[in-house]
């Protein structure tokens, strides 16, 4: 039996942090065991906000190197760059004809921008490019082009997935045929949300992240900044309400976690010690990946080759899909 297909896009808009690693990268890599995975760099989506060519190029390499270092295997999964699969834009044009403008008006990202403009008493269209406005259509094309069964994403993407389903259904309905496979969103669980330095969700927008590939010294410095309460060394401490322990749990085995809980509850362990223990565990997990990352990122040609090979394969799959779709829509040739 053919494996089911998992598709997801990674927007190259920031340096990956520990929250991304546990929240997105690790679970998506897990899926590659069971699914035929098609994971791509959504560089055209990034272009909506990143207009600095050097930065966009760098981010693309960084994100690709991160995924490869973390274990994405291009021999087993299809890894490519959205901008190198122009069939995506054929499908985008087709989908546009079936996407009501009103649907786009309801998209969260666009609505957030409108609300911001209103608050700042700006013109409602200020800073809204058509890429942002029609963002969900391009995303639907990414997904529908590759016959995705499942799409692993964060909660923030749930609405985009609903829109993808809406658009696909309207096409299938119009032609009374399942021309497009209806995908299912695999929304990440809340428990996969990683806590940041200040105890809130780890997120670029809160400026509380720990980047995945920091030099050792810098990483230790950040770990030392994790916010704690003001209990003294002697006091007995509660691991379950502690930000340090929340992070420790991600890296430590269940046995190590139990041991650490005992140290917390016994008293006599200061926050400095707990942070040091966390740092050491993190270093243990991250340093081998960091080593691979450093190797990969210093060989851009290698990354280019992987992405070019993946994109070529992706184009073959995509071209077939577009051709049959065009025939069905009356856009074919005899």
Beta carbons within 8 Å of 183's beta carbon, 6+ residues apart: 7, 143, 144, 148, 149, 150, 151, 161, 164, 165, 168
N-terminal to C-terminal alpha carbon distance within the chain: 34
49 DSSP 8-state letter: T
Applying the rule CB under 6 A, the residues between 102 and 141 that interact with ligand TRP are: 139
CA pair distance 263, 257, nearest whole angstrom: 10
Using the minimum distance from each CB to ligand TRP, give the nearer residue, 152 or 196: 152
Q: Does 142 engage in binding with ligand TRP (CB under 6 A)? A: yes
Q: Does 150 engage in binding with ligand TRP (CB under 6 A)? A: no
Q: Does 183 engage in binding with ligand TRP (CB under 6 A)? A: no
CA pair distance 120, 298, nearest whole angstrom: 43
CB of 143 to ligand TRP, least distance (A): 5
CB of 60 to ligand TRP, least distance (A): 13
CA distance to 21, 102, 134, 141, 152, per residue, from 187 (Å): 16, 25, 22, 19, 6
Of 45, 249, 281, 321, the one binding ligand TRP (CB under 6 A) is 45
Q: Does 143 engage in binding with ligand TRP (CB under 6 A)? A: yes
x-marked contacts with ligand TRP along 4-43 as a string, rule CB under 6 A: ---xxx-x------------------------------x-
Site size for ligand TRP, by CB under 6 A?
12
Q: Does 260 engage in binding with ligand TRP (CB under 6 A)? A: no
Largest pairwise CA distance in the chain: 83
> What is the CA angle 95-97-99, rounded to 5?
70
Of 5, 145, 151, 212, the one binding ligand TRP (CB under 6 A) is 151
Please give the structure tokens belonging to residue 73. Answer: 């295997």
Contact positions vs ligand TRP (CB under 6 A): 7-9, 11, 42, 45, 139, 142-143, 151, 153, 157
């Amino acid at each position: 039996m053919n494996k089911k297909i998992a598709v997801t896009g990674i927007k190259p808009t920031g340096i990956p942090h520990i929250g991304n690693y546990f929240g997105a990268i690790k679970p998506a890599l897990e899926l590659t065991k069971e699914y035929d995975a098609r994971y791509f760099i959504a560089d055209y989506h990034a272009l909506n906000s990143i207009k600095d060519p050097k930065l966009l190029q760098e981010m693309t390499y960084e994100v690709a190197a991160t995924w490869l270092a973390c274990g994405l295997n291009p021999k087993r999964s299809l890894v490519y760059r959205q901008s190198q699969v122009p069939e995506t834009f054929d499908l985008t044009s087709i989908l546009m004809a079936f996407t009501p403008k009103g649907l786009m008006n309801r998209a969260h990202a666009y609505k957030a921008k409108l609300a911001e403009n209103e608050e700042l008493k700006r013109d409602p269209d200020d800073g809204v490019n058509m890429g942002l406005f029609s963002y969900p259509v391009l995303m639907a094309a990414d997904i529908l082009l590759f016959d995705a069964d499942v799409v692993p994403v964060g909660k923030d993407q749930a609405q985009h997935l609903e829109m993808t389903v809406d658009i696909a259904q309207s096409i299938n309905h119009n032609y009374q045929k399942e021309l497009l496979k209806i995908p299912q969103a695999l929304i990440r669980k809340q428990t996969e949300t990683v806590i940041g330095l200040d105890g809130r969700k780890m997120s670029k927008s809160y400026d509380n992240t720990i980047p995945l590939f920091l030099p050792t010294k810098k990483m230790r410095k950040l770990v030392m900044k994790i916010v704690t309460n003001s209990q003294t060394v002697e006091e007995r401490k509660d691991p379950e309400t502690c930000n340090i322990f929340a992070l420790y749990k991600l890296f430590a085995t269940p046995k190590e976690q139990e041991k650490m809980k005992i140290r917390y509850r016994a008293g006599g362990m200061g926050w400095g010690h707990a942070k040091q223990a966390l740092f050491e565990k993190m270093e243990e997990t991250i340093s081998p990946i960091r080593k691979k990352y450093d190797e990969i990122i210093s060989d851009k040609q290698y990354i280019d080759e992987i992405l070019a090979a993946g994109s070529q394969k992706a184009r073959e799959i995509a071209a077939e899909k577009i051709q049959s779709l065009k025939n069905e829509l009356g856009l074919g040739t005899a």
